[in-house]
Structure formats: C-alpha cells, structure tokens
Structure 1
Amino acid sequence: MDKAQIREKLFTHTISELQYLQKKDGLLSDFFEIFDSYINENGVRIYRYTFEKILKSAEEKQKERAAFIEGSQLLILKHARFSYTPFHTHDFIEMNYVYSGTINIIIDGNEITLKEGDFCILDTSVCHRILDTGEDDIMINFLMRKEYFSTQMLSRLASNNIITRFAVNALSKTQEHDRYLLFNTPNSEFLIDAIEGMLVNYYDPSFYSEDVTDAYMIIIFSELLKAFQKQQSSEHRKADQSYIGDILLFIEQNYQDCSLQQIADIFKFNPSYLSRFIKSQAGKSYVALVQELRLNNACILLKNTDTPIETISEQIGYRNVTFFYQKFKQAYDMTPHEYRMNVN
C-alpha cells in the first residue's frame, strides 16, 4: 500500500458509512450500546467510552489487522461520515485531525469548528460530541492510552532541549486548564506526509510497524509543538508582550557566546528584569540554562565524534578547559573522558 492508495481508501465509503447513508439518522445504536451511560443534570444521555471496548470492537471489525492492534496503546480510526456521535466522555486521550472538509464539535457546551489541517486533542473525561458530517469531511481519530501520550510522546520530546521542554510543559499546563487543545496547521505538507506515511504503515503492518508508528507520532507531535510555539509567539506580539519561548529559542541558538546583556538589548529588557523573567518563566536562571545547553551539546559531541575534548570545550563556549572539566563532573559525576569511554 502506498500514499495514493491511502488517499483513495480515506475517501472510499466504508461499510459503516454505507449503513449511515441508508439509515439517514446518522446513528447506529448497536455500537453505543456496548458502553455504559448516564443522564446528566440537563437530561442528556452521556456515554462513557473506554479504550478497552473500542479496541475489542476494532479487533472484531479489522480481523486482518487484529494481531497488530491487539494490546495496542494506540488506535487509529477514520471517523465515519454521514454520522454524528452522541455526547460522551472517554478514559483515553483523543487526537482528531481534519484531513479534509470541516468538522463541528461541541466541547463542554462550546461549539468549535475544525477546518482542514486542524488538530484537536481532548483529555480524558471531557464531555463532547461530533456533529453531522458530509461527503468531504474526513477526520482521522488517534486514540491513545494516557500513559502512551505522556511517556511515549511528551516525555521523549521534553528530553530533547530547553525550548522543546518548555513547550511541552506549557502545553501540559494548557491541557490541564482547558482539557483540550487546538492546533491550526493548514497546508502543512510535512505533517500530511507524516500522517499519510503513518497510515500506510498502520493499514499495512509489518514486524517493524510499531516502532515506525511511534516514530511518526514523534514527528507529528514535534510539528504540533512548533505550531503551538508560533501561535503563542504571535498572540504575545499582538498584545505587545515578549514571549519567553522566543527568548529561549534565541538562547538555544546562541548559547556558545551570548550574554544576558546582549539578549536584554535584543528583546528590549533591563538585564536584571530579564534575569528574573527567565527564572520565573523557565524555572531556571539564565546561567543554569546556558550551562545545561553547553553540557548537553558536549555530551552529544563526546558520544558521536572523536573531536578532542579541548576542542569540544571551546566549541560549546568554555574557553577554560579546566573549568569545563569542573562543570562536567559536577553535572555527571564523571569527567568528559570517562563519559566518552562509558557511552562508546
């Protein structure tokens, strides 16, 4: 299966979609009856979706891939067109991607319109429903166990660098507060390519498919973090405010030789205020952030190159190699030479 076949598959009517077209009322009750439900204070029935029951249903309907998805922490499903979903909550993280058309969702009483290229990540226990969809409305649902979302995705991304870690933390706080996140990524060929590649791998699995799927998810979340950063930066600029993400990005790109005074001049801050601003927003002082960046990059060079340690010290911004040795040993309880010997 290739990407052209995936595109054709997404727009081809599924059995469920054909059934919805015949029923005309957009609801197949036999699916929802497998879930528990309750009546809320407004007299509305709310279904409780569970990952286990949806996984079991998927295994029964997709017998050709049952062995691949059995026990999986991630399910990828196409939302059935010509239908709607009733109000429901779930015990998993749901990420919706609008591949084509427009999707209207009611989340906690607010109607939100998702357009082509939009993502919506819903936390557990968020009450929502998807309104009627039509022929051109193609939405991909990524259903993830909570531990998969937090350990496989966010924790791996957060370990990369300070700007990514900050974005992950900010994203997590936003999610905790709002319980859902919206991302707009129109015309992102890179993301579309990643999603279609992931679907090729998912619909036509092989022995390495699980690792490939995880890799594609890392790419997708990385792109969403970039979109989140750009959105936050844009909103701060409109409000005539400095965004800490822009400052952290500058530090990350210039950590070898930038000074607090230089950064203050560029972002039009008083140096003392900037120091306090960085500490309050990033949780670490400017000096600690720079040192972390230098030592992280030293580790990469020690692990992946034969560059002399004295040269590495200079490349990362330490002119005094003895001082570099001291800081490295304080951080890792071993010398740069010992680190290189242990990892290689």
Structure 2
Amino acid sequence: MDDDEFLKKIRTLYFRFPGNILTNIEDFDVVPMNADLTVISQFWNINTFIHMHDCFEINYIFKGQCEFVFLDEKRILKEGDFCIISPFTNHSTRLLDPDSQIFPILVKEQTFSKTFFPLLSNDDILSHFFRKILSNTDEPNYLLFQTSASPDVRFLMKELFLENFQYDKYVNQSSVHWLSLLFVSILRNYETYSQFSSYNNGIAYAPILRYIQSHYTTITLSELSKIFHYSVPYLSKIIKETTDQSFSSVVRKLKMRAAVQLLETTNDSIEKIAEDVGYNSSDHFYRVFTDYYGMSPTKYRKIHQET
C-alpha cells in the first residue's frame, strides 16, 4: 500500500503501555521486559515534555516535520531524517502539523551494543564516528542521517513498525532483523549525510567531516583551519578526538578507498587513478598504496578483477 493508505490503516491500531512509564515524567522506558526493542507511533498534538530513557531512541521522520530539542539545542527534523539519541539524554520531539508522522524506535542499551555493534565495525570514517557515540553512552550525543525520504528506508520502517503487531514468538527476532536491515541500508547509502553533536567536544564536527569527504583530493589541514576558523592545533586535536585518527590518516583512508573503487571498476591507468584521488606523482601513490594494502595497485587490480 502507498504511504497515505499505510498511515490511515495504522491509525486504527493501538498500543498498551505499562503503567510505570508515567511514574516519573523525566525518566521512563517503554521497551517490554522480554523484548530487545519496540516501535511506537507518535501522535499529533500529544503532550510533549523533556525526558530521558535508559535506552537508545531512534526517531524516523516518516512524513512532515518535527521540532527536536536536545539539551539546550533546538532544530527542525524533516521527512526522511533518521536521528539516534544516546541513553540518559534530555530531549523531546514535537510534531509540527497534523499530517506529520514520527516512528520512535526504542532499543535497550545492551541490545544495541551486542546485536548491532558488529554492523559498525567497518574500517571507514562513519563507522569510527558511530562507534565513538556508542562507546561513550555517558555523554549526551545524537547522530542524524538525512535519507531524503528514501523508498528503501521507508519500506523497512513500515515492516519494522508492523512487526510489533504480530504477537507471536518470532516478533523480537524479526524486529531485530528489520532494524539490522535499516542500519545496513543507511550505512551503505547515506554516510556522507551524517551529522553529529557532542557537547564535550564543543564543536560541531559534521560540517568539517562533510567538507573533508567532498574535498579530500586537495584539502590540507591549513586550508581547513581557515575555512572553519579554528587554529591548526585545535582542529587537529578535534579530528583526532572525534575519529581516533589524525587528519592525514583520515584523508589517506578516503584516497585509498576511492583508489580501490577505481581499480576494481575501471580500466584507467595507474597514473590517472593517482591523479584522480589527489596524488601529484604516480610513484608516490604507488608507495602509499603498497604500504596501505600490502600489495601494489597493479597486483590489487589483477587479483580483484580476476574474481
């Protein structure tokens, strides 16, 4: 069914909430005792308030817009946004019009770290980003993906929501799998659209990350410091604290990842690939690639194009 028909149908469904969620409006959790996660539907005009959970809250903006308050920050989330909020963080979400629809997903902290953490173990800049959030759950953080109302993400979100109403012994296992697919889809397709807030860092790193990802072939740390108006030592420190890597390591990783893709998918010469990923000398590229992957670009291409 299309989105409008889906929303019309689900508004005939209802949830049973445990009574204890109303005992303290600042701190509550609605995940059933024997479940790893639950998905609810946020209704228009509901009384919103600043609160926290002992679990992760993942808000998917299915339709319209909502006002998101995170500590002392306020921003508007739009259709397709997928926002992950760390446990024990004061926050609230409020729909901005009657046609808006949010699906909050609540995931127990131990479930997130045990079940979903392997998805985030890839050797790329976003996974480092994600791991830092999940490994520092005492710090108030959120991660925001802008999926531009992706049909794949919307389909998976529908299936995850409807799974709540199966009421059989497979619900929990199936819900975990649907959420796993959601994470895979987002990590696969939307890594350049992530945003991050960390109040301990005191600096919004997301624009810096996006700029590095878009200009890695030519950007230098000195140029980056001028663009974002931070000193070179301070910016270098922030990049190291946020990614667990130096600026040069971040850039080299992006260059190597781009080079691998070109080696696997094109017949371009090594000289052209070196130039495309930001090396002035093919000899320099050859040495860096060999040191990074333990084999020359030529050997890498031969192995991977044969397979």
Q: Which has the larger radius of gyration?
A: 1
Measure, in 1, the Cα distance between the counterparts of 2:143 and 2:57.
Answer: 12
Q: Aligned pair count?
A: 283
Unpaired stretches in structure 2, ≥5 consecutive residues: 167-173
- Report SS of the residue matched to 1:290: helix
Normalization by structure 1: what TM-score? 0.55
Instruction: Tell me which moved more, 82-91 or 141-150.
Output: 82-91
Contact 1:191 1:223 (C-alpha < 8 Å) held by counterparts? no
Would you say 1:177 and 2:177 are equivalent positions?
no
- Report SS of the residue matched to 1:144: strand
Would you say 1:300 and 2:231 are equivalent positions?
no
Q: Which residue is 1:63 aligned to?
A: none
- Report SS of the residue matched to 1:306: coil
Contact 1:166 1:282 (C-alpha < 8 Å) held by counterparts? no
Instruction: Tell me which moved more, 93-102 or 293-302.
Output: 93-102
Q: Whose helix fraction is larger, Structure 1's or Structure 2's?
A: 1
Measure, in 2, the Cα distance between the counterparts of 1:218 and 1:264.
Answer: 33
Q: Which residue is 1:330 aligned to?
A: 291
Measure, in 1, the Cα distance between the counterparts of 2:88 and 2:229.
Answer: 43
Question: Aligned match of 1:316 in 262, 272, 277?
Answer: 277
Would you say 1:228 and 2:227 are equivalent positions?
no
Unpaired stretches in structure 1, ≥5 consecutive residues: 18-27, 56-72, 233-240
Contact 2:61 2:103 (C-alpha < 8 Å) held by counterparts? yes
Q: How far apart are 1:195 and its partner, in Å?
A: 5.4
Instruction: Please report the RMSD computed on the Cα atoms of aligned residues, expressed in angstroms.
Output: 5.5
**Structure 2 counterpart of 1:331, one-letter code:** Y
Normalization by structure 2: what TM-score? 0.60
What percentage of residue pairs aligned between the two structures are identical?
A: 20
Q: How far apart are 1:295 and its partner, in Å?
A: 1.5
Q: Which residue is 1:277 aligned to?
A: 234
Alignment of 1:1-344 (within 5 A): 1-10=1-10, 12-14=11-13, 16=14, 31-32=17-18, 49-53=30-34, 55=35, 75-79=38-42, 92-97=55-60, 121-124=84-87, 138-146=101-109, 149=112, 159=122, 162=125, 164=126, 168=130, 176-178=138-140, 181=142, 190-191=148-149, 193=151, 196-202=154-160, 203=162, 214-218=180-184, 226=193, 228=195, 245-260=206-221, 262-263=223-224, 266=227, 273-274=231-232, 276-283=233-240, 284-343=245-304, 344=307
Measure, in 2, the Cα distance between the counterparts of 1:329 and 1:51.
Answer: 52
Measure, in 1, the Cα distance between the counterparts of 2:205 and 2:27.
Answer: 40
